[in-house]
């Protein structure tokens, strides 16, 4: 037997199939797995996994790393959390095709509103040296450290073909034909599918282009994907308007049955205010029994977030005076929030808001001495103690720290683990919807994999280790057309994570200043992840990145 490049010894092998774990070794050569179970040969590199789990690399099916990959080919920090493959281009947005750099203005504006990625970040970090989707894939392939499954954004495709009229009308047959041609071109170059949206709006609160498409256009695009031999259609349903999420599932079923492609919607989340999550799961059962292939996506964590008045926050968008500040520079915001007349308007709008959100906001990490006594307290509690009101308290605390004080919304949505576990275990719901790479100044989406294992496997026992690993690897790999990964099996790609189940944890959120354009983000650095291998090379070793850059477009 020829010498292997790497042998990982003495670990608990959880191979991704859902089968019983067993002790043994795996061997890797030329980026592929060459032995699983036992390996008696030599290897250039020996890794002792004693006391640890050896599993396939995790697959995150819902991220927005499209722009970040231009300056960060590792898609940090997802790799640290054992994710060896990320799917980008969700929610109808991708960064290609684009006619030229000047035509990017509209696209950047949509990313700013929908994904909270700012203009300055695009200006400094995204070169716009491509036009076609294949050109973009060629650009990110250079030095790629993580595997990427790329969706083509439906809104971007419509803009490319229809220009401004993409947000005014349905497409003509000729325009649909051209979109289908471009989509097949992207699929042939390595794209994995198409994403669309039924709910998102642009910087003018106008529906994004994909929302102007008719069913025949979506079916045509799905059929065009199917002609290439694979394809997934991802969407965000209208989860705001009553009944529309169910209607979205029904339409996706029509698309799936007409084309044969798998359709998926994200997210399905539990809320004590509605039973739409339950209705959605029931509808998924119904349409799949009728021959469609439609899956939901859900994340294992609570949908918690942070608010800093120095950053964007979609929690403030419904209040015009607060939303107006989100378009301002920090200097302009400081003057705006300090103005007494403006403060009166801000206070009035929040006090009269029907949203229950602000009653649950608490003070997070702060630095000003006068604010330290508030850490961990709710704004309602502070307002009661001081004979004030929630918006007044929020403004006072924020202004003491030049708007950089942290406020936290915890435990409102997807927070009851008993219900979350039901969603995660459902046969027609994939583990996904992390949103990693988006809303980066409000929360860190990376870390769901570690949370799944620490919370739902180790702490609560909602599912076995082998089922949790299967749900994050082989199950989604098969559904999304990644037939050469997601499983520890001879001949498949050697995407591997080695972790300690007793220690694994997603880590605390840390607010860092490392984004182009002088921007900030939240990141998490996990515990218990020992090694992460991408296509046979160790890319993360003990929490540190190596020089290996073996990622592929999959």
94 & 65 share domain:
yes
Query: Under DSSP, is residue 43 helix (H, G, I), strand (E, B) or coil?
Result: strand
Tokens 């994570």 sit at which residue? Answer: 497
User: Is there a single domain that holds both residue 46 and residue 94?
Assistant: no
Query: Residue 467 falls within a domain, yes or no?
Result: no
What total number of domains does the chain contain?
3
**Same domain, residue pair 240 and 254:** yes
Question: How far is the CA of 53 from the CAs of 39, 370, 501, 538, in angstroms?
Answer: 17, 47, 7, 16
CB atoms within 10 A of CB 342: 16
Q: What mean pLDDT is reported for the chain?
A: 96
Say which residue the tokens 């065009």 belong to: 224
Q: Which residues contact 314 (CB under 8 A, 6 or more apart)?
A: 116, 439, 442
523 and 509 housed in the same domain: yes
Report which secondary-structure segment, H or E, holds 382: helix 379-386
243: tokens are 């009944």
Could you give the C-alpha distances from 368 to 98, 396, 400, 407, 472, in angstroms and in order? Answer: 45, 11, 7, 14, 42
The verdict on 154 and 283 lying in the same domain is: yes
32/162 same-domain check: no
Lowest pLDDT segment from 73-82, 126-135, 309-318, 361-370: 309-318
- On whether both 311 and 439 belong to a single domain, the answer is no
Q: Is the pLDDT of residue 1 over 80?
A: no
Q: What is the pLDDT of residues 472-504, one digit of tens each?
A: 999 999 999 999 999 999 999 999 999 999 999
Kind of pairing between the strands at 193-197 and 232-236: parallel
Q: What pTM was computed for the model?
A: 0.96
Q: Is residue 479 part of a domain?
A: no
Shared-domain flag, residues 107 and 177? yes
CATH number of the structural domain spanning residue 514:
2.30.40.10
**Each residue of 507-535: pLDDT tens digit?**
999 999 999 999 999 999 999 999 999 99
Nearest to 34 by CA among 82, 2, 12, 9: 2
User: What's the rounded mean pLDDT across residues 287-301?
Assistant: 98
The per-residue pLDDT for 356 is 81
Does residue 288 sit within a domain? yes
Q: In Å, what is the CA distance from 191 to each residue of 134, 152, 231, 549? A: 8, 7, 8, 20
Among 350-354, 441-445, 478-482, 521-525, whose mean pLDDT is lowest?
350-354
Residue 472 phi/psi, 5° resolution?
-100, 5
Burial class (CB in 10 A: 0-12, 13-18, 19+), 459: exposed
Pairing of strands 294-298, 262-265: parallel
Residue 472 belongs to some domain of the structure: no
Determine the 3-state secondary structure of 278 from DSSP: helix
pLDDT at site 131:
96
Residues 6+ apart with CB under 8 A from 495: 56, 57, 84, 85, 147, 485, 486, 533, 534, 535
Residue 478 falls inside a structural domain: no
Distance CA(538)–CA(526), nearest Å, equals: 17
104: helix, strand or coil = helix
Domain span holding position 259:
59-302+417-459
Alpha helices in 173-232 (DSSP H): 173-189, 215-227
Residues 39 and 70 placed together within one structural domain of the fold: no
Mean pLDDT of 44-63: 98
How far, in Å, CA of 45 to CA of 441, rounded? Answer: 39
Residues 72-95, mean pLDDT to the nearest whole number: 98
Check whether residue 240 and residue 140 sit in a common domain: yes
Residue after which a domain boundary falls, among 343, 377, 409:
409
Positive or negative, the Cα torsion across 480, 484, 489, 495?
A: negative
Encode pLDDT of 394-435 as tens digits: 999 999 999 999 999 999 899 999 999 999 999 999 999 999
- Structure tokens given for 4: 């292997």
Q: Are residues 315 and 374 in the same domain?
A: yes
487 is a domain residue: no
- The pair of structure tokens assigned to 360 is 């649950």
């Amino acid at each position: 037997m020829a010498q292997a490049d790497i042998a990982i010894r003495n670990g608990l092998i959880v191979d991704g199939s859902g089968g019983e774990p067993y002790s043994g070794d795996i061997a890797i050569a030329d980026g592929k797995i060459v032995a699983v179970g036992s390996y008696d040969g030599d290897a250039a590199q020996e890794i002792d996994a004693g006391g640890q789990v050896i599993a396939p690399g995790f697959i995150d099916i819902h991220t927005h790393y499209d722009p970040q990959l231009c300056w960060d080919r590792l898609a940090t920090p997802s790799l640290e959390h054992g994710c060896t493959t990320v799917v980008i281009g969700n929610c109808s947005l991708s960064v290609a095709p684009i006619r030229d750099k000047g035509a990017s203005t509209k696209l950047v504006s949509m990313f700013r509103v929908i994904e909270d990625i700012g203009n300055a970040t695009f200006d400094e970090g995204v070169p716009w040296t491509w036009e076609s989707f294949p050109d973009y894939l060629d650009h990110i392939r250079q030095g790629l450290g993580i595997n990427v499954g790329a969706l083509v954004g439906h809104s971007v495709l419509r803009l490319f073909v229809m220009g401004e009229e993409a947000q005014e009308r349905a497409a003509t047959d000729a325009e649909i034909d051209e979109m289908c041609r471009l989509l097949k071109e992207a699929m042939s170059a390595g794209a994995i599918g198409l994403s669309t949206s039924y709910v998102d709006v642009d910087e003018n609160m106008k529906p994004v282009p994909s929302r102007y498409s008719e069913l025949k256009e979506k079916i045509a695009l799905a059929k065009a994907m199917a002609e290439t031999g694979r394809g997934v259609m991802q969407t965000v349903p209208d989860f705001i308007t009553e009944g529309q999420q169910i209607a979205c599932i029904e339409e996706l079923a029509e698309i799936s049955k007409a084309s044969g492609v798998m359709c998926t919607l994200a997210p399905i989340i539990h809320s004590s205010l509605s039973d739409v999550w339950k209705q959605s799961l029931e509808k998924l059962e119904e349409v799949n029994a009728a021959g469609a292939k439609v899956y939901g996506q859900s994340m294992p964590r609570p949908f918690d977030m942070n608010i800093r008045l120095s950053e964007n926050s979609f929690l403030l968008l419904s209040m015009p005076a607060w939303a107006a500040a989100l378009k301002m520079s920090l200097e302009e915001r400081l003057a705006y929030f300090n103005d007494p007349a403006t403060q009166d308007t801000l206070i009035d709008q929040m006090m009269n808001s029907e949203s229950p959100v602000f009653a649950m906001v608490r003070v997070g990490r702060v630095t000003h001495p006068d604010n330290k006594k508030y850490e961990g307290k709710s704004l309602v509690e502070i307002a009661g103690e001081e004979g004030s009101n929630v918006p007044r308290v929020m403004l006072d605390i924020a202004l003491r720290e030049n708007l950089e004080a942290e406020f936290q919304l915890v435990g409102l949505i997807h927070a009851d683990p008993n219900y979350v576990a039901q969603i995660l275990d459902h046969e027609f719901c994939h583990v996904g919807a992390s949103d990693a790479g988006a809303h980066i100044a409000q929360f860190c989406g990376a870390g769901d994999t570690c949370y799944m294992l620490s919370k739902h496997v180790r702490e609560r026992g909602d599912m076995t280790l082998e089922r949790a690993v299967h749900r994050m690897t082989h199950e989604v790999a098969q559904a999304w057309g990644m037939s050469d990964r997601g499983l520890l099996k001879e001949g498949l790609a050697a995407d591997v994570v080695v972790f300690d189940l007793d220690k694994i944890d997603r880590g605390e959120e840390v607010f860092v200043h490392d984004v182009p354009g002088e921007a900030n983000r939240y990141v998490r650095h996990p515990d218990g992840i020992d090694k992460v291998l991408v296509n046979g090379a160790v890319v993360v070793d003990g929490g540190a990145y190596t020089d290996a850059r073996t990622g592929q477009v999959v």
